[in-house]
Amino acid sequence: MTNTNYRCPCCRKICSEPHDLARHFLGQTDKKHKDWLKTQGLSYAQLITSQAEFGNKGYDTLAEVLGKEAPRC
């Protein structure tokens, strides 16, 4: 059985879980990461706001997208 890791599509950071990659993504404020979010129909500001207002909703939303879209290694 092999472990599936997820690679950040912007900076190639490797995380073992989509939620860890989402946490990484929301900690980045550079244009490259924010632009990738836009290509997925997401807004950095809205994710941060939903994270603050609704518990882990921002992480959960982004983790779902990253689980489908992030390259695996």
Question: pLDDT tens, position by position, for the chain (73 residues)?
Answer: 457 899 999 999 999 999 999 999 999 999 999 999 999 999 999 999 998 887 889 999 999 999 999 999 9
**pLDDT score for 55:** 80
Task: Return phi, psi of residue 25, to 5°.
Answer: -60, -45
pTM across the whole model: 0.88
Residue type, 43: S
> Tokens 């997925």 map to which residue?
40
Please report, for residues 13, 21, 27, 30, 72, the alpha-carbon distance to residue 5 in angstroms, rounded to integers and kept in the order given. 10, 10, 19, 23, 6
Domain extent listing, the chain: 29-73
| Nearest-angstrom CA–CA distance, 35 and 73 | 23
